[in-house]
């Protein structure tokens, strides 16, 4: 009798208990695949310029974000990397939506300065040349559907997948730009950025204009203490802080005052003119889009692109 009981127990274990444990461990029970393969079939989007919350198909929304954020003639692998970054961003915002009053209860908004750029399919298509519309939309659609449901995680949480147009040849650490260290947003060497039309730029103005612009934004300046001094740079070359008229300000504020493309600026005075020579475009943290395009064109996969720009993260 004992033998029979043991056999029954053994069969039960094989047939029921072991598969149950396996399913629980892999989270299989909690994954409910939707028709479009995304974490949710529909999301709520706060369309900022219309001041209205709209329900959208998740997959369609992601296509519209990728189309608005990256040129459609970029390499397919770079577009896939962008799709994963956009999805990861959406999930992380969606999880915190209760704490973001600007979203009026929605998962995400369409304000470029707050969340991600977004444009409806129709609006976007109208900006492309007519003979390219179908080809471009099809390419972007595939970038989203081929990566459906895939997100980047760090310690099992969706990451803050920030990106920028063009780096200076090395990405910035989050800590150097925003003051908070993030394990997966570190200095990464980035190739191919110099091929970007936004890699180098220059801003110049006369000293009077320079001083006026700074005085409008910074109080307590004393120009006898120097026009600019004590420049502290990050490893990637961006200005972390500097003194203007003896007052210390952040590199990000300096960038904003003069509308520079990045904080990676060489500042010099030539007679009565101040010349700023700038490298890169954007905050410089996370994935460089032009760098991603270069890697994609060099035969790297979107997985390789993502693990390069977000070191230590996992694609799940």
**In angstroms, what is the minimal distance from the CB of 90 to Zn ion?**
11
Spatial distance between the Cα atoms of 289 and 9, rounded to a whole number of angstroms: 57
- Which residue, 115 or 240, has its beta carbon nearer to Zn ion? 115
- Which residue, 118 or 228, has its beta carbon nearer to Zn ion? 118
Spatial distance between the Cα atoms of 85 and 160, rounded to a whole number of angstroms: 9
**In angstroms, what is the minimal distance from the CB of 110 to Zn ion?**
8
- Which residue, 93 or 173, has its beta carbon nearer to Zn ion? 93
**In angstroms, what is the minimal distance from the CB of 259 to Zn ion?**
23
Nearest to 147 by CA among 75, 77, 244, 49: 77
Burial class of residue 53, CB neighbours in 10 A (0-12, 13-18, 19+): middle
- Beta partners for 195? none
**In angstroms, what is the minimal distance from the CB of 101 to Zn ion?**
10
Spatial distance between the Cα atoms of 115 and 121, rounded to a whole number of angstroms: 18
User: Site size for Zn ion, by CB under 5 A?
Assistant: 3
Q: What is the 3-state secondary structure (H, E, C) of 141-156?
A: HHHHHCCCCCCEEECC
- Which residue, 65 or 267, has its beta carbon nearer to Zn ion? 65
**In angstroms, what is the minimal distance from the CB of 78 to Zn ion?**
24
- Which residue, 115 or 151, has its beta carbon nearer to Zn ion? 115
C-alpha distances out from residue 210 to 174, 259, 274, 294, Å = 28, 12, 7, 36
- Which residue, 29 or 112, has its beta carbon nearer to Zn ion? 112
- How many Cβ atoms from other residues are within 10 Å of residue 183's Cβ? 13
CA angle, residues 277, 283, 288, in degrees to nearest 5: 95
Side-chain-facing half-sphere of 181: CA atoms under 13 Å: 1
Q: Is 213 in the site for Zn ion (CB under 5 A)?
A: no
**In angstroms, what is the minimal distance from the CB of 94 to Zn ion?**
11
Binding string, residues 255-284; x marks residues near Zn ion by CB under 5 A: ------------------------------
**In angstroms, what is the minimal distance from the CB of 45 to Zn ion?**
9
**In angstroms, what is the minimal distance from the CB of 96 to Zn ion?**
11
Instruction: Give the three-state DSSP class for 283.
Output: coil
Spatial distance between the Cα atoms of 284 and 305, rounded to a whole number of angstroms: 16
Q: Is 109 in the site for Zn ion (CB under 5 A)?
A: yes
Spatial distance between the Cα atoms of 160 and 8, rounded to a whole number of angstroms: 50
Secondary structure letter of residue 50 according to DSSP = G
Cβ(69)–Cβ(135) under 8 Å?
no
- Which residue, 114 or 125, has its beta carbon nearer to Zn ion? 114
Binding string, residues 146-175; x marks residues near Zn ion by CB under 5 A: ------------------------------
- Which residue, 113 or 208, has its beta carbon nearer to Zn ion? 113
Binding string, residues 38-77; x marks residues near Zn ion by CB under 5 A: ----------------------------------------
Given the rule CB under 5 A, which of 107-115, 136-144, 189-197, 207-215 is the region that contacts Zn ion?
A: 107-115
Binding string, residues 112-131; x marks residues near Zn ion by CB under 5 A: --xx----------------
- Report residue 253 as tokens: 């504020």
Spatial distance between the Cα atoms of 202 and 279, rounded to a whole number of angstroms: 9
Residues of the shown chain interacting with Zn ion in the complex, contacts defined by CB under 5 A: 109, 114-115
């Amino acid at each position: 009798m004992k033998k029979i009981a043991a056999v029954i127990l053994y069969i039960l274990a094989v047939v029921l208990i072991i598969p149950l444990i396996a399913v629980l461990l892999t989270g299989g029970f909690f994954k409910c695949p939707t028709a479009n393969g995304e974490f949710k079939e529909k999301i709520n989007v706060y369309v900022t310029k219309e001041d209205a919350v709209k329900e959208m198909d998740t997959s369609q929304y992601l296509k519209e974000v990728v189309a608005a954020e990256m040129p459609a003639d970029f390499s397919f692998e770079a577009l896939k990397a962008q799709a994963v970054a956009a999805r990861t961003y959406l999930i992380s915002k969606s999880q915190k939506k209760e704490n973001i009053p600007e979203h009026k209860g929605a998962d995400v908004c369409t304000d470029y300065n707050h969340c991600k750029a977004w444009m409806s399919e129709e609006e976007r298509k109208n900006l492309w040349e007519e003979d390219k519309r179908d080809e471009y939309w099809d390419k972007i659609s595939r970038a989203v559907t081929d990566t459906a449901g895939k997100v980047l995680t760090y310690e099992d949480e969706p990451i803050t997948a920030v990106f920028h147009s063009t780096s200076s040849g090395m990405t910035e650490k989050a800590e150097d730009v925003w003051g908070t260290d993030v394990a997966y947003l570190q200095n990464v060497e980035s190739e191919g950025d110099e091929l970007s039309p936004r890699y180098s730029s220059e801003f110049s103005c006369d000293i009077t204009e320079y001083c006026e612009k700074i005085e409008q934004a910074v109080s307590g300046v004393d120009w006898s203490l120097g026009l600019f001094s004590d420049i502290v740079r990050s490893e990637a070359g961006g200005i972390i802080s500097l003194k203007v008229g003896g007052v210390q300000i952040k590199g990000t504020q300096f960038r904003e005052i003069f509308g520079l493309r990045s904080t990676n600026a060489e500042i010099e005075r030539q007679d009565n003119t101040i010349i700023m020579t700038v490298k890169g475009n954007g905050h410089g943290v996370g994935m460089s889009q032009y760098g991603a395009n270069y890697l994609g064109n060099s035969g790297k996969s979107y997985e390789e692109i993502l693990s390069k720009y977000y070191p230590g993260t996992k694609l799940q």
